[in-house]
Amino acid sequence: MNPQVCFSVLALQPKYQQLAKKLAADVAKFSPETTLVIGTDNPEAFRDCPNVLAFKLHKKGVLHCYHDKRFVIARALQQFKVVIQIDADTQITGPLPDSVDLSPGISGSYLANMVAHSEKYNPVRLGHLKKLAHKLDLDPNSITFVGEALFAISASDEQATEFICQWDRLARYLELHGLHSGEGNAIGLAAAKAGLAITAPAWVDAINKASKHLDVSRPARPINGLVDGLDNPNAKPKNPALDKLMRRLSYHYRLNQSRLIALKNVSFYYR
């Protein structure tokens, strides 16, 4: 692929670092000139991956880290023209396209109307999504849900800043209202507000066909202590009580951080 194109990967905790290293090896095999920009809490895990630019990133999401992809994309856009967000638990199984469109916009592998998608899969979100669209002076029926496992963005500095800024606000609003997943809705809303067209080009479809999403966030049954060649991701911590306490403290720290930021714009986040 064009050297102005990179992959963007979020890899928090050892399980996803192992997966991201496997992904980096796949990319090195099928597209050796392509870089992966990886946001991770352990950059040292990638010191032996020459095609990886890893930077320190701690979990920011209140409960889950799904929206934390925005921080990796933002970093990658500082150095590359086109950033392809791909989940760490993805395998590349075949050649990647040589030609990539550098035009501004969002390029997705799975797109759907936001309202119809929410009505079908998670109607409890719809009220908040419509409210957010109106807060942004957008028609909720015109918004596109962007499948978050694989999509690309190319944008001018101004559009990129606006896109990330809006995604940041939307993510915080959704998390403070108990909606911690479905970031494809926030991506579509942010893209619309930033003036980024959303399309489904053939080159993104080619990447999708050359990849396999393992979806390891779902609980898996280990076989001989391994799951798909990984150390057992469901293994119990050595000190369960301490682990539970630390997770609880971290959760409340992130929650209170978000609340403090939201207090600067009460009308957006709470009215």
**Residue pLDDT, tens place only, 162-216:** 999 999 999 999 999 999 999 999 999 999 999 999 999 999 999 999 999 998 8
Superfamily of domain 5-221: Spore Coat Polysaccharide Biosynthesis Protein SpsA; Chain A (3.90.550.10)
**Residue pLDDT, tens place only, 60-77:** 999 999 999 999 999 999
What are the CA-CA distances from residue 171 to residues 102, 151, 179 (Å)? 27, 18, 9
**Residue pLDDT, tens place only, 129-177:** 999 999 999 999 999 999 999 999 999 999 999 999 999 999 999 999 9
Q: Is 225 exposed, middle or buried (0-12, 13-18, 19+ CB in 10 A)?
A: exposed
At 236, the pLDDT band (50, 70, 90 cuts) reads: low
Q: Of all residues in the chain, what percent are helix, strand and coil, respectively (each to 5)?
A: 50, 20, 35
